[in-house]
Amino acid sequence: MGMTENLLSTSQWLITALLFVVILWRAVRSIDWQRLRQDNGLQHTLFGAAVILGFVWQLRAGISPGLSIHVFGLTVITLMLGWGLAVLSGLMALIITVITGREPLIMFAANGLITVMIPALVSHGIMLWERQRNFSNFFAYIFFCGFFAAGIAVAAAGIVMCLMLWSSGTYSFDELVHEYLRYLPLFMIPEGFINGTFVTGLMVFHPDRLTTLDQRRYR
């Protein structure tokens, strides 16, 4: 969502960096590295998703610093790769935005936390919830894990970002409501539609690409 320099206090920057390192460590530990080394298709998905996201994230809209809008796309990547690899893919995409000058390097941890880690974790959590409910209809996976999870993921990321900007004193609560929060439901709809559409297409034509999909559960 485009955190720029001087938007966060020093203490917030340090806390954000610490959370970033902790979540990244957990993500790295959750990855099945042996499978990744042996599965060329998974490798292609990982790096292909990073390149696609890196270029998609170049397209954004916004007036005030830190309050830009763009498609996240992390939900479908999380369903395809699992949350650990989705975090790595998203961070590689973020490196592309840093190289192209769209994001400052000093805010890499903050942008990584908001744009990559929170959406991936929220999507992963909703996927686990859907799995625990043991739905037998495959539309449950498409709707809850695709459409619904993507909308909630972007909402969670947006709310966390606004809380950070409000607590740092960069924006007042009224400014955040006027310039961002009141539009957040409108962001959720296209995010859910884009991710849900891709999940639907993959489930129909390439279900093997969805590593989180247990086809035995559905009929």
Q: At what angle do helices 149-167 and 118-133 cross, to 10 degrees?
A: 140
Radius of gyration of the chain (CA): 17
pLDDT in the model for residue 39:
92
CATH, domain 10-217, list 1.20.1050.10, 1.10.132.50, 1.10.1760.20, 3.90.1150.10: 1.10.1760.20
Which residues fall within 8 angstroms of residue 118, CB to CB, at 6 or more apart?
Answer: 153, 156, 157, 160
Q: What's the pLDDT score for residue 63?
A: 60
* Tens of each residue's pLDDT in the chain, 219 residues: 666 667 788 888 899 999 999 999 999 999 999 999 999 999 999 999 999 999 999 887 666 666 777 889 999 999 999 999 999 999 999 999 999 988 888 889 999 999 999 999 999 999 999 999 888 888 899 999 999 999 999 999 999 999 988 988 888 888 888 888 888 888 899 999 999 999 999 988 888 889 998 877 776
State how far the Cα of 120 lies from the Cα of 31, in Å rounded to an integer: 14
Cα maximum dimension of the chain: 53
**pLDDT value, residue 136:** 83
The pTM (predicted TM-score) of the whole model is 0.92
Q: Please, are residues 141 and 172 in contact by the beta-carbon 8 Å criterion?
A: no
| CB neighbours of residue 159 within 10 Å | 15
> In the prediction, which pLDDT does 93 show?
95
Question: How far is the C-alpha of 142 from the C-alpha of 95, rounded, in Å?
Answer: 30
Helix/strand/coil (H/E/C) assignment for every residue in 14-51: HHHHHHHHHHHHHHHHHCCHHHHHHCHHHHHHHHHHHH
